[in-house]
Amino acid sequence: MKETFAHASGGRRAGGGGTAPPAPAALAAKVRTLAPSMTRSMQRVAEAVAGDPAGCAALTVTGLAELTGTSEATVVRTARLLGYPGYRDLRLALAGLAAQQQSGRAPAITTDIAVDDPIADVVAKLAYDEQQTLADTAAGLDTGQLGAAVAALAAARRTDVYGIGASGLVAQDLTQKLLRIGLIAHAHNDPHLAVTNAVQLRAGDVALAITHSGSTGDVIEPLRAAFERGATTVAITGRPDSPVTQYADHVLTTSTSRESELRPAAMSSRTSQLLVVDCLFVGVAQRTYDSAAPALAASYEALAHRHGGSRGRP
């Protein structure tokens, strides 16, 4: 029978009425404090518990009793002495302790990836790096410039996006998104066609160049053409002082993180660029909400039949 229903309440206030609430992480200390007052068998149990919380958490009373060469009763008695209602609760605390220890160990990540890193480390390091990149990008993004770019995009008659290589994929990503909310956008990865199209742009249109180095000629040229035609130009680059910014009305800076041999710069610049692009998209979607929302819904609807049932097993 539980009458403890108010969910948002104290959380871990067990109430109970007992004298000692469970100990969170002070377990090792408690063991040392109480050890003198323990019998020999209990000490063995306490020692095992303090020595390998994670391991013990995986054991049942019987298991721990066997491991320490004692009996179930002794294990329970020890748990009681340590302040828990029973072994079950000690075990829970042990699991918590183990998790804490584990997570505390995590930040010891040297960010460089070595050739012989185990795969699990690779995952952790890459995830960490990309998280870092995101944080840096968000911190370094000029919201004024971003807002201006959003306004321009939202009002544009049409938008052209330029990007080559990895940045080309980001360009396509943005284009796909803009199309989804009913805007007219096009991603160019053929430099010649890009220029050809750029000269068609005029005031009120938007040209957006994505280049990490800021020096990719194939991307700068069309932006320049658009710029000279009077279109509003935006550059997403990791180098705010690079050539591309000469022709950009608004510059959005992506962050540049350390690169290493196994982790080329393209990787983090892509992450960074995508965040910027997402911000642009959401900003534009906000501004054009009345038309964007139905458009999004419609495109979602249109795709629904291409996927199987909504359930896992169609």
- Interface residues with DNA (CB under 7 A)? 2, 4, 39-42, 60-62, 69-74, 76-77, 79, 85-89, 91, 313
| Complex with DNA: residue 87 or 281, whichever CB lies closer | 87
Closest CA to 186 of 153, 205, 224, 159: 159
CA distance 181 to 183: 6
Closest CA to 281 of 149, 90, 190, 88: 149
Least distance to a second copy, CB of residue 9, Å: 9
Phi, psi torsion values for 288, nearest 5 degrees = -110, 30
**Neighbour order of strands in the sheet with 185-188:** 185-188, 159-163, 206-211, 232-237, 250-253
- Give me the half-sphere count of Cα atoms (radius 13 Å) on the Cβ side of residue 168: 10
Phi, psi torsion values for 278, nearest 5 degrees = -60, -40
- Give me the half-sphere count of Cα atoms (radius 13 Å) on the Cβ side of residue 254: 33
Cβ-Cβ contacts under 8 Å for 36 (sequence gap 6 or more): none
Residue 312 interacts with a second copy (CB under 8 A)? yes
Q: Which of a second copy, DNA, none does 69 bind, CB closer than 5 to 8 A by kind?
A: DNA
Q: Which of residues 156-215 bind a second copy (CB under 8 A)?
A: 165-166, 169, 172-173, 176, 180, 213-215
Q: Which of a second copy, DNA, none does 261 bind, CB closer than 5 to 8 A by kind?
A: a second copy
Closest CA to 160 of 234, 211, 214: 234
Number of residues this chain uses to bind a second copy (CB under 8 A): 100
Contact pick of 23, 28, 134, 295 for a second copy (by CB under 8 A): 134
Q: Which of residues 99-118 bind a second copy (CB under 8 A)?
A: 99-100, 102-104, 113, 115-117
Residue 228 interacts with a second copy (CB under 8 A)? no
Q: Which of residues 284-303 bind a second copy (CB under 8 A)?
A: 285-286, 289, 293, 296, 300, 303
Least distance to DNA, CB of residue 30, Å: 17
Tokens describing residue 188:
């160019």
| Complex with DNA: residue 106 or 304, whichever CB lies closer | 304
| Complex with a second copy: residue 25 or 73, whichever CB lies closer | 25
Do residues 231 and 205 lie in contact, with contact meaning Cβ atoms separated by under 8 Å? yes
Cβ-Cβ contacts under 8 Å for 150 (sequence gap 6 or more): 280, 283, 284, 287
Contact pick of 110, 203, 301, 307 for a second copy (by CB under 8 A): 307
Q: Which of DNA, a second copy, none does 73 bind, CB closer than 5 to 8 A by kind?
A: DNA
Contact pick of 23, 28, 95, 179 for a second copy (by CB under 8 A): 95
| Complex with a second copy: residue 200 or 215, whichever CB lies closer | 215
Residue 40 interacts with a second copy (CB under 8 A)? no
Least distance to a second copy, CB of residue 248, Å: 14
Phi, psi torsion values for 107, nearest 5 degrees = -65, 0
CA distance 225 to 183: 22
Q: What is the DSSP string of 93-126?
A: HHHHHHHHHHHHHTT---SSPPTT--HHHHHHHH
Contact pick of 50, 141, 208, 223 for a second copy (by CB under 8 A): 141
Residue 20 interacts with a second copy (CB under 8 A)? no
Residue 25 interacts with a second copy (CB under 8 A)? yes
Q: Which of a second copy, DNA, none does 176 bind, CB closer than 5 to 8 A by kind?
A: a second copy
